[in-house]
Amino acid sequence: MQKVAVLRWGHRAFRDERLTTHLVLAARAFGASEFFLADVEDEKIKTTIERAVQQWGGPFAFKMGIPWREIVKDWKAKDGTVIHLTMYGENIQTSDVLQRIKTTRKDVLVIVGSQKVPSEFYKISDFNVAIGNQPHSECSSLAVFLDRFFEGKGLEKEFKNWRIKLTPDPHGKHVIKRDV
């Protein structure tokens, strides 16, 4: 099974706090195993994510402050493939780009930028992938990419060491709690 890590570029403290938090939670919920908040540190997000993993389970690694070039270089050195999510890229729906990514059988680093990204991203990435060629959100792009990449299986993943877990309920809330 190909492993997926996410690299978030361009996070600005305060302004992007909630959006980046949503992005990290989406990465975890849809099956990624690792998240890099590149170049910057944000203790508040780190605390939120660590608490979420403690409550809802893991494993899920959150790292911050490493320069993006270093993360990409390391990933490539380990023979991983690099994907840049961008509305300008090959459309995941109308092209065969997802199939080509899977065929590599390599571990995947997904770069998620913000409004303006360095033009280098388009060149250093093995694939530039558009979750449709219309504007929407990093968060929706990442979720749909992962949902399609894992063919929906991300949503049935069983996490380990959870303290809270939900049992699907058609009309209310069914919460299971335990001490670990």
Q: Which stretches of the chain bind a copy of itself, using CB under 8 A?
A: 18-19, 22-23, 25-26, 28-30, 52, 56, 87-95, 122-123, 127-128, 130-137, 139-144, 147-148, 152-156, 159, 165-174
DSSP string, 101-168: HHHH---EEEEE--SS--THHHHH-SEEEESSSS---HHHHHHHHHHHHTTTGGGGPPPBS-SEEE--
How far apart are alpha carbons 110 and 127 in whole angstroms? 10
Q: How many residues belong to the chain?
A: 180
Question: Shortest distance, CB of residue 11 to a copy of itself, whole angstroms?
Answer: 13
Cβ-based nearer residue to a copy of itself, 46 or 165:
165
Name which of 15 and 69 has its Cβ closer to a copy of itself: 15
CB of 31 to a copy of itself, least distance (A): 9
Give the nearer residue to a copy of itself in terms of CB position, either 67 or 140: 140
What token pair was written down for 105?
């059988």
Minimum gap (Å) between residue 40 Cβ and a copy of itself: 18
For a copy of itself, the closer of residues 65 and 155 by Cβ is: 155
Which residues make Cβ contacts (< 8 Å) with residue 38, sequence separation at least 6?
7, 8, 9, 11, 64, 66, 67, 68, 71
Q: Compute the least distance from the CB of residue 21 to a copy of itself, in Å.
A: 8
User: In angstroms, what is the minimal distance from the CB of 67 to a copy of itself?
Assistant: 23
